[in-house]
Structure 1
Amino acid sequence: MSETSQTAKRAAGWSPLWHRLGQVGGVLAMLALTIIGLTAVTFVIGRIMPNDPVIAIVGQRASQDVYDAMYLQLGLDKPIWQQYLFFLRDILQGNFGTSVMTSRPVMEDILRFFPATLELATLGTISGILIGVPMGVLAAVNQGKWIDHVVRVVGLLGHSIPVFWLGMVALLVFYAKLDWLPGPGRLDFYFDGIVDPITGIIMIDAIIAGEWDVFKNAFSHAILPASMLTVYSLAYLSRMTRSFMLDQLNQEYILTARVKGLSEREVIWSHAFRNVLVQLITIIGLTYASLLEGSVLTETIFAWPGIGQYITNSLFNADMNAVIGGTLVIGVSFVGINMLSDLLYRLVDPRAN
């Protein structure tokens, strides 16, 4: 083989790799631009809010000298573009300022409260996948039959019933009346402090410490709030799975597989569902990100100490550092998960390239 042909062969081998690396670089560049845009919007909203950040820190009774000193310390005398650059610099350093409500650094509060939201959203997403995806497949296979109608009604109800109403009914029935499950909160008070917060997720920390009583108590507390998020996720996932499966079951390769004598189980799960699974990657990512972002009402109803409740309480107390910091973390998480799911979709399915 000539040297020219060997060089051409090596170049052909490197071409797909460079193509993939280019895709990854493009996704990361888009992620960076999106995050910069998110910080800009958050900064502007924080500046146009009617609350005075200086008053929120020094209080209404502070003297003019104290007010002016804090005004200069916050850099509010600088041009707006320079304030934004300072704001961006502090964010890149992980500095969101100090919370007026807790008197702790906002980043410290976020690291304390965000794992609780992560725990709840993860449980809701996993439960939604385990229940919603089989429901969608079952509905598609039995299109037009009673089971299909039941799944569609369940999906409609999951999107229609207000979370706050469903949560209050769940507390009334399973906690107040039947006493099957514990009430609001993340853990009973007599279990507080037993487990060191290594990850911030109590169930994982309890397993690491070997405290199975703490694990059981934390799990029982998570059942009701996680079920509220499960209702939403399974409704969305079942509807999308049904739609994807119906599209695949009408393809010619399904007819060919049946003509070859394959069992219906093989046709559904080994052929149709395999292609649906690729499409579901993006949908699962969107669902997970939505639960991280939209668990505020669930956390409020069940007194769950997550980032959503933290942002809500901070907003009521005019604690703008905490509001902006928490909003940015949720926004970055949402964008990051969406970008990651899109990247995984492209890596798994070459047709999307």
Structure 2
Amino acid sequence: MRLDNTLKLGNKLFLSMLFLLCFYHTVKNLKQRLILRNALIFSTIILILSSLGQLPHMSLLTLRLRLFEPYIAIFNALVIIMMLPIPKTGKIFGSIILLFIIIQPPRVEQVKTVNTISEIDNKINAFISPGDFALFENSAQASPAKAGERYDKCSRKDRSHWLTYLQKDLGVKFFSQIGDDAHPFNNLRHMYITNGLYKGEPLGMDNEIEFIKLLKDWGVNKACIWSPTAKGFFDDSRYFKLLGKSKKYICYSATYGILPEVRLSKGGTGRLIDEGPFSFKVFLENVSEIQTVTINKNYFNFWSAYDEEGNQISLRKSNQKIRFDTANNGYIFFKYRKGIFLNLISLLAISFALLFDVFKRRFYPPSQKTTDFTRG
């Protein structure tokens, strides 16, 4: 790794390491030398890992590591100050001056807000409508490809974090669309396409049968994509027809028969009612014998189900869906267990964000410059 690249990747961190190294050779105390050596080793590891962004699957990790480089540099500088042969008050005074020099005031920019999604993409509602179950192609910052860089890159200003609000604004359901950043960590990453890839391979004839089978099984009736690879796939597919192009997406409609969201193995009908993030109902009709019911919702062990008499129903997973057995008509009530500890963490995070916002507004008035939030 060249010196100029190192300075570019971690300027402050690299300079702090040089000071650590020089100071290490002047210190005779064994305990102090041990602390300095450990700080040097840790800083070197972080600096090396931060320079590996060109390797496959490493770009996301390096982006995260680079966020910590300035703080590690501050820590290194504080270590040196605390070991200087000066009075304690001088060390404290020097540390405060260092923090004022290194830590810059937060940059405050007014974020552009919108009232409806149509202000971002005013044509998307012409192709999807309430009740649709739509596949939206994901966009990734880091390559999810299995081999190098074989994936379609997108401009960050074109597809961004606003997409998740589309479900609420237009009354549609998404088929496993999880935003920009989280795709390497999603345990359902085999259920969506990202930058023209399906399961890490370019979408095409080799994986068409598996991919179409997945969409049919879940009852996906619309697909909105952006990448050239995905466009070529859907243009050539006999299972989809082109609807049109919105500001940000190319939209297609399925030509195969759409299966219902609630399926019964031996006749009868069912439908979902009062769907929310933590609860929903299933209403069953014309059930005359015990049979298997499959619901188009992802199974997770925090879900529990009860019949109208309050009896708990055993749930199991089948192709990632919720499945159970019953012989009764009427309502089945589903509830998702809420984690008190997770709620407490969320409350603390929201409280901190509010306090930080109050601090910014009081001490750093917003500038006139605005940032378009569609850039992500």
Q: TM-score range with shorter-chain normalisation?
A: under 0.3
**Highest relative contact order (Cα 8 Å, sep 6+), 1 or 2?**
1
Greater C-alpha Rg: 2
TM-score relative to the length of structure 1: 0.20
Higher strand share: 2
Higher helix share: 1
